[in-house]
Amino acid sequence: MNSKERRVVITGMGMVTPIGLSVKENWRNILQGQSGIALLTKFDTTNHTVKIAGEVKNFQPTDYVSKKDVKKMEDFILFAIAATDEAFQDAKLQIDENNTERVGTIIGSGQGGISAIEQSALKAFAGRPDRISPFFIPSAIINLASGQVAIRYGLRGPSYGVASACSTGLHAIMDGFHCIKRDESDVMVVGGSESTLVPTAQAGFANLRALSLRNDEPERASRPFDCDRDGFVHSEGAGILILEELNFALARNANIYAEVLGFGMSTDAYHITAPDPEGRGPTTCMGNALRYAGLAPEDVDYINAHGTSTRMNDLTETWGVKAVFGDYTYKLPISSTKSMTGHLLGAAGAIESIYCVKTIENQILPPTINYENPDPNCDLDYVPNEPRQAVVNVCLSNSFGFGGTNVTIALKKFKK
């Protein structure tokens, strides 16, 4: 069977985010317009200019692994395990000797175990290298999210990590998609996980002037496309999807949520952190996704925007949408769920793909909250403040990362 004949579908999903510890809880809170942004509690922010973030709340690692194993894993690994457990339960997927070599995992992270790196460096420079844990390396390196999931479930297919800044989650899904299309696997566990709420990362983003300074109103800090936006909100969490080759899924009578039609990629080749001010990266990326998926602009019913709430990202993404969709642009609803979750960096594309699947499943558009003072240069339909019923068969979701890396996924309501 050639790659065009091997269709890829989504059969399971799992999430850990600042607005919930499950897909059900996330979707409920998205439709209620609930923000997950609050004052940071993970460390003392007294000397930090930015004191807010999107923390995962009420997460108990021992609900998923033993107390002994918690000490061997950084939070990005634990979040990935938790989301994967939910995704496996959702997909009702059983791994045995008949399929183990045809099931793989690709889970990405932008910065991996940065907390372990930070703490181990402090011990090393304090003259106490003997106090560094022997589990430091396997708890910090990015591919260990995939590695731990593969060990947990006995997955002997392709397994590795992806790191492409804020595009990581979508790149991981894309790689899993292509593994199935190339007949290297029948099932792929894919997504992204991130936990970077530590002093060094918070200060690093703040000193880039990338973060919102709205410390006195955390819930209103992430405000994509709003005229008063002043930066993104740093968040953590994980999103995992189960991808299956269509015939494999049908043979086991799996519940199919949506079909993955394809992806588009591009690179700005402009600046290490700033987007191309002419929006050429998003334009090329979305155009490539439409071309790969065989879609006309008018086929798209909704876009989940990268929508970070930074001055330039929201502007250039808006320009990119206009360039690709032309006259249809003003009929095309777009929203940013980052207005509620904040920016999960390497996990963002994965959780936002899940929100797109839920949009298709429920025929409801998620809102962009905190859209109060429209930016005249961002003049599209951003589904302001309230969810909206709509006919949704095809969604795009965008992720753009530092270094100018861009990726767009195209998803469609499943039809045999």
Q: For every one of its 416 residues, what pLDDT tens digit does the chain have, with 9 covering 90 and above?
A: 566 689 999 999 999 999 999 999 999 999 999 999 999 999 999 999 999 999 999 999 999 999 999 999 999 999 999 999 999 999 999 999 999 999 999 999 999 999 999 999 999 999 999 999 999 999 999 999 999 999 999 999 999 999 999 999 999 999 999 999 999 999 999 999 999 999 999 999 999 999 999 999 999 999 999 999 999 999 999 999 999 999 999 999 999 999 999 999 999 999 999 999 888 999 999 999 999 999 999 999 999 999 999 999 999 999 999 999 999 999 999 999 999 999 999 999 999 999 999 999 999 999 999 999 999 999 999 999 999 999 999 999 999 999 999 999 999 999 98
Pairwise CA distance, residues 141 & 72, whole Å? 12
Residues 84, 194: one domain?
yes
166 is catalytic: yes
User: Which residue among 196, 224, 251 closes a domain?
Assistant: 251
Choose the catalytic residue: 234, 306, 356, 395.
306
Residues 225, 268: one domain?
no
Answer whether residue 3 is part of any domain.
no
User: Which residue among 230, 251, 272 closes a domain?
Assistant: 251
Q: How many helices (H) and strands (E) does the chain have?
A: 13, 14
Largest CA distance in the chain: 64
Pairing of strands 388-389, 364-365: antiparallel
Residues 306, 215: one domain?
no
Residues 228, 169: one domain?
yes
Residues 199, 107: one domain?
yes
Answer whether residue 330 is part of any domain.
yes
Residues 348, 400: one domain?
yes
Answer whether residue 2 is part of any domain.
no
Residues 92, 192: one domain?
yes
Pairwise CA distance, residues 218 & 205, whole Å? 17
Answer whether residue 327 is part of any domain.
yes
For every residue of 46-88, DSSP letters joined together read: TT-S--EEB---S--GGGTS-HHHHTT--HHHHHHHHHHHHHH
Choose the catalytic residue: 179, 343, 356, 378.
343
Pairing of strands 52-53, 38-39: antiparallel
| C-beta of residue 372 within 8 angstroms of C-beta of residue 221 | no
User: Which residue among 219, 251, 283 closes a domain?
Assistant: 251
Burial of 47 (0-12, 13-18, 19+ CB in 10 A): exposed
271 is catalytic: no
- Structural domain total, the chain: 2
Residues 362, 305: one domain?
yes
Answer whether residue 138 is part of any domain.
yes
Pairwise CA distance, residues 10 & 249, whole Å? 9
Listed residue (64, 19, 114) closest to 351, CA to CA = 19
Give the domain CATH number at 190: 3.40.47.10
Residues 167, 231: one domain?
yes
- Domain range for residue 390? 263-412
Residues 125, 215: one domain?
yes
234 is catalytic: no
Answer whether residue 233 is part of any domain.
yes
